[in-house]
Structure formats: C-alpha cells, structure tokens
Amino acid sequence: MYVCLCNGFTDRDVKSAIASGADAVPNVYECLGASPQCAKCSIQIRELIQEEKSQKAITFSSE
C-alpha cells in the first residue's frame, strides 16, 4: 500500500527503513532518499514506527 504519494513509497519501503534503523519520521525520509512534500504521510509513518517497536517488544519479551 502506498504511504506517500508525493514520493511514491510504500509501507514495505517504510518498514525496510525502520528495519535499517530509522526510528523517527525524518529518519525514514532520509533512509528512503526522500523529503517531505505535503507531510500527510507522516502520521502513517509514525504509526508504522510504533507498530514495529511494539512487535520488537513483544518478540523480545517472549524470548
């Protein structure tokens, strides 16, 4: 699913950036070689970051 229409990146792209260490919205843009245009996607990027952090916490606590 497209997250950012202005820069043309998807949720998979964002998750890949997060897996590479991006832990904030500006870091995701930087990792993807993009820059905010209208910034409507920043809310969804933030949600994806939180989801990935939650998944890591669940995985880590179950080990």
Domain boundaries, the chain: 2-62
pLDDT for position 58: 74
Query: d(Cα 53, Cα 34) in Å, to the nearest integer?
Result: 22
CATH 3.40.50.620 fits 2-62, yes or no: no
- CA 20 to each of CA 4, 6, 28, 32, 62: distance values in angstroms, whole numbers, following the listed order: 19, 22, 9, 10, 23
Q: What is the pLDDT of residues 13-63, one digit of tens each?
A: 999 999 999 999 999 999 999 999 998 999 999 999 999 988 877 766 666
pLDDT for position 62: 64
